[in-house]
Amino acid sequence: MTQPGIFALGTPEHSYLELDLVDGASAVDLVKAVAGLAGPLSTGGGVNLVAGFRPELWARIRPDGLPAGVTGFNEPIVGVDGFQMPATQRDAFVWIAGPNRTAVYTNALEVVGALVGVATVATELGGWVYAHDRDLTGFIDGTENPSLLDAAAVAVVGDGPGAGGSVLLFQRWSHDSLAFESLSVPEQEKVIGRTKLDSVELGEDVMPATSHVSRTVVEEDGEELEIFRRNTAYGTVTDHGTVFVGFAAQQRVLDLMLRRMAGATEDGLRDALTRYTTPVSGAYYFIPSVAALAGFAPEDAD
């Protein structure tokens, strides 16, 4: 069974914790501590918890539990015009989502307390849903998402190593909203590749090859390679942006998407949206299945 929080839509408040092992603690110690949390094994009380690990760390304790080709975000992606996507890989990831800030804060505090002596919080980020389904550019986010009926086929590893798990790409993107909002709406739409009001994809005759849609829609042999997004907004009026939370059954789909955005592919075209948004962090985590994670849980864990 896949960790259910991946697909638990409708939660407006989010907390993202990236963790590093403390000196003297082992990978097994960390996985056991995370597996001992109640959240990863069930979804209840209106709060969802999803937990994952740096792929190399998970492979260290489950050599047969990681799909081929899954690695950490260990090197920056270097594109054109000096553009880079930084690599800020950490050892573990915990995502808490809930109906209100109080519930999310309380659960996050319990998670941090349960991991004392094993891991420290390397980064903490709060996310929230903006205008129901839009990001801070004002455009609808996730239009390309598969429906929940199809999402598992896109986001979850099938048979073989890591079955039931998922590969997560976690990034923070800072927005230059003043610069983007200085564009006219038609200019903004050409940057994104969709209409702002109702998210209709622009026609081929007016769609720029550098639009966000053009660069993030990945095709192979004529078939679109999809991912499942759970993005949120973060920040304040003076410092804000998008938390990119993308799941896929294959890491190469996510990697190719990023390289196309950066212009690090043969055509050398950079996503126009990256002129107004800047990647601040980048990490990959493997999200084990409930059964794989439960194998490390204490006997008295719920």
pLDDT tens track for 25-66:
999 999 999 999 865 445 556 899 999 999 999 999 999 999
DSSP string, 263-275: T-STT-PPPGGGG
Q: Which domain holds residue 95?
A: 4-294
The domain tally of the chain equals 1
Q: Does a structural domain hold residue 302?
A: no
What pTM was estimated for this model as a whole?
0.96
Q: Encode pLDDT of 195-241 as tens digits.
A: 999 999 999 999 999 999 999 998 888 899 999 999 999 999 999 99
Catalytic residues: 141
Q: What is the pLDDT of residue 221?
A: 87
Q: Does a structural domain hold residue 299?
A: no
pLDDT over threshold 80, residue 300: no
Q: Does a structural domain hold residue 246?
A: yes
Q: What is the pLDDT of residue 41?
A: 45
Please say whether the beta carbons of 285 and 74 come within 8 A: no
Q: Does a structural domain hold residue 300?
A: no
Phi and psi of 107, rounded to 5°? -70, -40
- Cα(238)–Cα(236) distance, integer angstroms: 5
CB-based burial of residue 69 (10 Å sphere; 0-12 exposed, 13-18 middle, 19+ buried)?
exposed
Q: What is the pLDDT of residue 299?
A: 74
Please tell me which residue, 299 or 162, carries the higher pLDDT value. Answer: 162
Q: Does a structural domain hold residue 61?
A: yes
Q: Does a structural domain hold residue 169?
A: yes
Share above pLDDT 90 across residues of the chain, in percent, rounded to a whole number:
93
